[in-house]
Homo-oligomer: A and B are copies of this chain.
Amino acid sequence: MPSEFELIDRYFRRPALREDVLLGIGDDAALVQPPAGSELALSVDTLLEGVHFPAATGPVAIGHKALAVNLSDLGAMGADPAWATLALSLPQPDEAWLEGFCTGWFALAQSHRVELIGGDTTRGPLGITVQVVGTVPQGQALRRSGARPGDRIYVTGTLGDAAVALEALSGRLPLGEPGERACRRRLEFPEPRIGAGVALRGLGTAAIDISDGLLADLGHLLQASGVGARVELEDLPLSATVAGLVRDGRIDPALPLQGGDDYELLFTVPEQAEAELRRRWRTQRCRLSRIGRIESQTGLRLYRHGIPQAVPPRGGYEHFRD
């Protein structure tokens, strides 16, 4: 059976990606050279089997998602990802699993130039803790707390696809191809909105990534900013699959508001910055939708075609809340 050191060598030591990594895997700590004039954004997330991904999830998806959810946090700060560490707990050294995991991880890591600079492998229940560090020019990071009354609320991509995939995987929602494949891809291979976050530097007033569902994460942003919001439900961006399911009454129309795992960016810009936002978005490949506006009155108000709607429960996943 291979030792921890052999596994690290075989799977996790890769050619250097970045010149600012002075010392990578293999010493007591990694050494990096932070760029002058930058702040660093640091985020950490744990993924546990059965909690953050279904037990049937393949290793390639797990490798992708473990890194993607962390990069998503950096995207929400407007940061450029640079370095990552990986703490991996495995029941046994299953080399086919490791190979798949690394395929998913390193494909995403290379596309965003994130270098794996350290890690720890232990034997235990399957669990993955990833920490990423990104850089952002002095004073340009996007926080949750900067939304002001009158700001417009935007969201990237589409909402609810991952939640629909979970319903389909659980057997509660027979979906059929190609809808199931498309939604499952969104659940298993979320695309961190790094380019979108960078495009918002100096323009967005607040940002958050949607991991717990739009209602929950918009709630976090509003609370941090001390404001409220009005959201137009007919403007929520839905994929063809999810829109069809809502139209046919096969899913609760609140699902795209409540479902987690979207990993889209939710952000605010002042009204006078909307033209510049659209200009900058010409080079972004992800959809951009204006869904509402910030109001001084706290709380969330939902409308559909101008008619007030009840606000459904948040539905975001909370650990330790049964």
Contact = CB atoms under 8 A, between A and B. Distances in A.
Interface stretch (A31-39, A247-255, A277-285, A302-310): A31-39
Interface string A133-162: 110100001011100000000000000000
B319 A123 contact: yes
A273 to B, nearest CB: 21
B1 A77 contact: no
A271 interface: no
A16 interface: no
A114 B118 CA distance: 20
Interface stretch (A20-28, A167-175, A181-189, A235-243): A20-28
Contact of A120 (B1, B39, B129, B209): B129
Contacts of A38: 34
A103 interface: no
A146 to B, nearest CB: 11
Contact of A1 (B89, B208, B321): B321
Given A22-B39, A27-B144, A28-B43, A3 B123 contact: no
Contacts of A86: 44
Nearest to A5: B318
In the assembly, how many copies of this chain are there? 2
A83 interface: yes
A131 B134 contact: no
Given A27-B224, A118-B43, A224-B26, A322 B1 contact: yes
A85 B321 contact: no
Interface stretch (A45-53, A55-63, A104-112, A289-297): A45-53
A7 B319 CA distance: 10
A269 interface: no
B127 A124 contact: yes
Nearest to A211: B28
A298 interface: no
Interface of A: 1-5, 7, 22-23, 26-34, 36, 38-46, 48, 51-52, 73-74, 76-77, 79, 83, 85-87, 89-90, 92-93, 117-125, 127, 129, 131, 133-134, 136, 141, 143-145, 207-209, 224, 318-322
The 4 closest A-B pairs by CB, nearest first: A29-B43, A28-B76, A129-B129, A29-B41
